[in-house]
Amino acid sequence: MSERKIRVLIAKPGLDGHDRGAKVVARALRDAGMEVIYTGLRQTPEMVAEAALQEDVDVVGLSILSGAHMALVPRILDLLRAQGQENVKVFVGGIIPDEDIPRLLEMGVMGVYGPGTLTEQIIKDISAAVSRVERSSQR
Amino acid sequence: MSLAESVLQGNRLALARLLTQVENESQEGVEELNRLFPYTGKAHIIGVTGAPGTGKSSLVNQLVYALRHPEGAQKPVRVAVVAVDPSSPFSGGAILGDRVRMRDVVGDADVFIRSTASRGALGGVAASTANLVQVFDAAGFEIIFIETIGAGQAEVDIARLAHTVIVVEAPGLGDDIQAIKAGILEIADVIVLNKADRPLADNAERTLRMMLELAGNRQRTKAEGEQPSKGWTPPLIRTIATEGKGIREVCEAIQEHHRYLHSSGEWGRRERLRLQTELENRLQAILLKRLQDAISVETYEHLLNEIVSRQLSPYQALEILLDGVEQ
């Protein structure tokens, strides 16, 4: 009876303590009609993967400002795959040097959004990525 | 293998996916629920409600932790949490933030926390909350907490969904008139005064005690041919959830209430009421849907225009609408 909503986990893995960006994105996704699970600061990759499983999310958004993204992101992707959530889309926001972006995309990250990104862009990308997953799982 | 079978075998990913299906009330979800229903009816369902910011999530976090690490010879029980937060009435989206306070129980395979949005329901829980609880019950979780959205005076649906209702209060939220108004204090089986280290905590406790005494007097004057001593008087427990103070006492009160429910026969009565409420809610939803489907958009818009231009009162429009349906 009630329709399907896109569910997004917004997490801040690592040790930096600045979550304004994560909150701005969470709020924008809410206003786009998505259900956003917000987990707060200082999450380990295991905590992020565990929350993604329990909440059965379509998308995981990681906000990382500490520079630890090349360690944290592959770890989280591995954990998601290991628990059978290879269909979950992962995007990364925060401070990511340009040269790391292609490497993150190669690992399977859906998008990397630095400062100044329009939230409309993130919403558009998420909607497109989730509907692609749905089409392929129906087949 | 069906999702239901995987859930019964303890597969956590299947559990997560089935929760999504039943939350969306998809055809598949309903069929799987039918398969699981015979396995339900074992869990102790505990509602946690109270005004926004009283510390419901922090309290649940501590209670789950305490139940997983019991003192003495007690066995730890498997615990599930359904945490409800409000959906935006405008976008339909939601921010589900209860996990922020539930950090002490991550990494424990016998704890499962699921956040859920109210999706337009006004009673403090979502229409699908009962479905989520059924899945956890069938999956073998022995205690299921339902944390309602921040609730105040009217959001009492939890009383018909849970066996035990904990109402969380905090100092400084209202005067003594608030405490004797109708509302969530009436549905409390256990009252927790959280943030008990804050100023005004003693005032709040006095007010709540007075309210409890008044309620006790009322019970006694009702009589109804039963011995009044058999009834349950909600205990009032002071806690500081962020420091874990008073948590053991709340756990004991929960266990005490569980024993009372069984020894008094109240468990059976609440179970029946709970399932009756569920049946009625489903019935209402489906009848409403059928009725709405039977009314054409044109007729509806036309009548709404008539009401706006004061040609018809809402009651008169209703008669015309229902006449059309009955024919």
The pLDDT of residue B186 is 80
A23-27, A79-83, A130-134, B138-142: range with lowest mean pLDDT: A130-134
The pLDDT of residue B227 is 42
Contact between B117 and B96 under an 8 Å Cβ cutoff? The reply is yes
Within a domain: residue A2?
no
Within a domain: residue B287?
no
Same domain, B299 and B207: no
Going by their DSSP bridges, the two strands B143-147 and B111-117 should be labelled as unpaired
Same domain, B129 and B215: yes
Residue-level length of chain A: 139
* Domain-terminating residue out of B225, B248, B267: B267
Same domain, B309 and B192: no
The pLDDT of residue B249 is 96
Is a pLDDT exceeding 50 seen at residue A38? yes
CATH number of the domain within which A69 lies:
3.40.50.280
Same domain, B49 and B183: yes
**Number of domains composing chain B:** 2
Report the distance separating Cα A90 and Cα A59, nearest Å.
6
Within a domain: residue B13?
no
Kindly state the average pLDDT of the residues A112-127: 93
Domain region containing A81: 7-138
Give how far B85 is from chain A: nearest CA, Å: 10
Query: Which positions in chain A have a beta carbon within 8 angstroms of at least one beta carbon in chain B?
Result: 1-5, 7, 26-27, 29-40, 46-47, 50-51, 53-56, 83-85
Is a pLDDT exceeding 70 seen at residue B217? no
Cβ <8 Å between A1 and B285: yes
Report the distance separating Cα B47 and Cα B64, nearest Å.
13
Give how far B89 is from chain A: nearest CA, Å: 10
| Cα B98 from chain centre | 15
CA-wise closest residue to B130 among B112, B109, B151, B144: B144
Within a domain: residue B274?
no
Domain region containing B194: 40-267
Same domain, B70 and B164: yes
User: CB of B194 within 8 Å of any CB in chain A?
Assistant: no
The pLDDT of residue B221 is 47
Is a pLDDT exceeding 90 seen at residue B325? no
The residue ranking higher by pLDDT, B265 or B102, is B265
**Number of domains composing chain A:** 1
Considering CB atoms only, which of A2, A34, A40 is closest to B119?
Answer: A2
A52-61, B127-136, B202-211: range with lowest mean pLDDT: B202-211
Is a pLDDT exceeding 70 seen at residue B153? no
- How confident is the model over B51-76, as pLDDT tens digits? 888 899 999 999 999 999 988 888 89
CATH number of the domain within which B208 lies:
3.40.50.300
Kindly state the average pLDDT of the residues B32-57: 93
Kindly state the average pLDDT of the residues B173-195: 77
The pLDDT of residue A99 is 94
Within a domain: residue B27?
no
Tokens in use for B279?
């049946």
Tokens in use for A78?
């591995």
Is a pLDDT exceeding 70 seen at residue B196? yes
Number of neighbouring beta carbons within 10 Å of residue B66? 20
Tokens in use for B278?
């569920």
Same domain, B248 and B311: no
User: CB of B209 within 8 Å of any CB in chain A?
Assistant: no
The residue ranking higher by pLDDT, B192 or B172, is B192
Same domain, B301 and B263: no
- How confident is the model over B230-247, as pLDDT tens digits? 588 899 999 999 999 999
Going by their DSSP bridges, the two strands A35-38 and B143-147 should be labelled as unpaired
- How confident is the model over B257-308, as pLDDT tens digits? 999 999 999 999 999 999 999 899 889 988 988 888 888 889 899 999 999 9
Sole residue written with tokens 């420091």: B243
Report the distance separating Cα A80 and Cα B240, nearest Å.
36
| Cα B209 from chain centre | 24
**Sign of the Cα pseudo-torsion (A122, A128, A129, A134, in order):** positive
Contacts made by residues B3-11, CB under 8 angstroms, sequence distance 24+: B3/B28, B3/B32, B4/B32, B4/B35, B4/B36, B4/B138, B5/B35, B7/B32, B7/B36, B7/B135, B7/B138, B7/B139, B8/B36, B8/B39, B8/B138, B8/B139, B10/B139, B10/B140
Contacts across the A-B interface (CB distance below 8 Å): 90
Q: How far is CA B152 from CA A61, B97, B316, in A?
A: 33, 19, 35
B119-128, B291-300, B306-315: range with lowest mean pLDDT: B119-128
- How confident is the model over B103-118, as pLDDT tens digits? 888 888 899 999 999 8
The residue ranking higher by pLDDT, B210 or B182, is B210
Within a domain: residue A1?
no
Within a domain: residue B12?
no
Within a domain: residue A78?
yes
Report the distance separating Cα A91 and Cα A37, nearest Å.
15
Residues of B in contact with A24 (CB under 8 A): none
Report the distance separating Cα B200 and Cα B210, nearest Å.
15
Same domain, B302 and B162: no
Element (H, E) at B314: helix B314-326
Tokens in use for A49?
């993967």
